[in-house]
Structure 1
Amino acid sequence: MSAAARAHPLLALRNIGKAALADFRILGITTVEQLATQDADTLYVALCRKTGTRHDPCVHDVFAAAIHQARTGEALNWWQFTPARRDRQQRGDFPAV
């Protein structure tokens, strides 16, 4: 286990660095187990509302990748979740903030 992962378990996830960890702190997410029960849409909207800022939709992709890894153990790059999110945006099925 890396020193970062020992410092905070969420940092053991592939796509989680200082910025995403800060976002999770804002959202009250502190463990991988807790993250596994979350929904990327819900987290993205909550982050935007709590910070009063419309965050880049790639933040949603990072959330989706982290949730996927927390649930399955499969570590995929965040950009692998981008096409599905973009499709949803084009259909108007992505959460409005």
Structure 2
Amino acid sequence: MNPSKVDRNRLNQLTDLPNIGPALAKDLQLLGITEATQLIGRSPYELYLALCDVTGVRQDPCVLDVLISITRFMAGEAPQPWWAFTAERKRSFKI
């Protein structure tokens, strides 16, 4: 969902999270995540590596940006577009 439309009180499905569409919702389900609350306390870097493992392919680095955005959102931060985390990912995670 577009971050500007996210309502923290209405997270009924994974696509209600910022930056999550149907494809990434399916990827999260591959990791056993079916509810937004399951992202609380999770490492976006570990989620990214697990997704690469379970799919057998190196995921686009932008997927990591999205994972950072949703884990931060679930930790209480304001919803932001995924690209707001690109510089951080480039500094802290060499893919």
TM value normalised by structure 1: 0.80
3-state SS of paired residue (1:29):
coil
- Cα distance per residue 1:62-86 (max 9 Å; x no partner): 0000111111151111100000111
Hey, what does 2:79 align to over in structure 1? 75
Q: Note if 1:33 corresponds to 2:37.
A: yes
Structure 2: how far apart are the matches of 1:46 and 1:86? 19
Tell me if structure 2 keeps the 8 A contact 1:45–1:95: no
- Structure 1 letter corresponding to 2:42: Q
TM-superposed CA distance for 1:11, in Å, is 1.3
Instruction: Judging by fraction of residues, say which structure has more helix.
Output: 1
Q: CA RMSD in A?
A: 2.2
User: 1:22-41: CA deviations, max 9, x gaps?
Assistant: 11011001111111121101
Q: State the distance in 1 between where 2:94 and 2:45 align.
A: 7
The higher radius of gyration belongs to 1
Hey, what does 2:3 align to over in structure 1?
A: none
- Deviating beyond 6 angstroms after TM superposition, the runs of 4 or more aligned structure 1 residues are none
Q: 1:77 to 1:10 in 2, by over 3 A?
A: same
Are residues 1:42 and 2:41 paired? no
Equivalent pairs, count = 88
Distance 1:23 1:85, change over 3 A: same
Tell me which of 9, 12, 17 is aligned to 1:13: 17
Query: TM-score, normalised to structure 2's length?
Result: 0.81
In structure 2, how many angstroms separate the alpha carbons of the residues matched to 1:69 and 1:79?
14
Q: How far 1:15 sits from its partner (Å)?
A: 0.6
Q: What runs of 5+ residues in structure 2 fail to find an aligned partner? A: 1-5
Cα distance in 2 for partners of 1:55, 1:25 equals 15
